[in-house]
Amino acid sequence: MTSFRSPIAGAALFGLLAIVPAASLADEAATLRFQTHHSPTSLQGKALIRFAELANKGSAGTLQVEMLTSSSVVKSSEAFEAAATGIIDGDATGAGYVTGKNPAFQFYGDIMGGYSKPDEILGWYKDAGGLDLANQLYEQFNMHLVGVFVATPESLGSTTTLAGIGDLKGWKFRSPPGMESEIFQKLGSAPVVMPFGEVFTAMSTGTVSGADASTLAVNKGLGLYDVGKHASYPGFHSMPIEHVTVNLDKWNALSDAQKQVLRDAVDTIAEEVASQSAVDDEKAAAELTAAGVTLHNWSEEDRLAFRKVAQEVWADWAQRSPEAKAAYESHVAYMAKLGILK
């Protein structure tokens, strides 16, 4: 018996077959929901949204990445744990939020007084084994570090002069917790730990004389220099590292190609953030100078004196866990290679 199929029926069947692969591809796409504390209009927030877009496009539809901004699901301090336990799939904040899990995370969050350029930190991760070393730590907590990005060094803001290291004695200022507070205490300052959002009010009311908040451009946007007319610039004391992490089970389920797409997307925004942050700071510096704000560029001697004290604190933190010691030794070796440490 001869089988007969009309042209219309054949065309319909072909159309159905053509649809099936596309539908299957959508069904098989790996969905990754990240959360960041940054707002969608900030430099870092825009960059992370772009990361998601790059990953989706680069994966040809096999990845469906979503970047949730402004801590919309859980608190910033809870994002890492939320991703590790599967509430979300990825955390895009920074290791500084999880130093309580292991002191070693401090060396992946901010090496205070160490590096002075974003490409130095990025070089440690990419060229000196930093990424692999970090993942020996991250994966203990069911998380995988995909990559990092860094803005320009942060600037201090103050109602009193900040011309050099001597001006830190007795200086009461807003500080994040951890290593930074310890360094400034050794230099005679009086750091006060408070949330980022309370900085402007605290300076306005005189609760503190200054603040370590963010880069010069971001500080300007916060209005810190409407209150305090002194800033350290170019910055040197702090350069927080932003991380992009994924739940380890989710990461292991991805193909090698998908993993590379995510790495490439982070690398792309890392270059863009560092470049744009520098442009933003230069613009802010010009505008602040015109508005009567004094920008203090510390002498090399004062910068080295700050780093010397910072090194004492690094060494102390290195004793707090085996992983901290490994990270410390790797950073110090790389800084020596770059000529940062003599």
Average pLDDT over residues 26-41: 89
Strand order in the sheet with 172-175: 190-193, 172-175, 210-212, 156-158, 230-232, 294-296
Instruction: Look at 138-152, 184-198, 286-300, 313-327 and tell me which has the smallest mean pLDDT.
Output: 184-198
What angle do the packed helices 130-138 and 118-127 form, to 10 degrees?
Answer: 80
Domain boundaries, the chain: 29-151+233-342
> If pLDDT is split at 50, 70 and 90, which confidence band does 331 have?
very high
Average pLDDT over residues 99-128: 97
pTM above 0.85, yes or no: yes
CATH for 29-151+233-342?
A: 3.40.190.170
Q: What is the pLDDT of residues 236-290, one digit of tens each?
A: 999 999 999 999 999 999 999 999 999 999 999 999 999 999 999 999 999 999 9
Q: What is the pLDDT of residues 160-196, one digit of tens each?
A: 999 999 999 999 999 988 899 999 999 999 999 888 7
**Cis before 7? omega within 30:** no
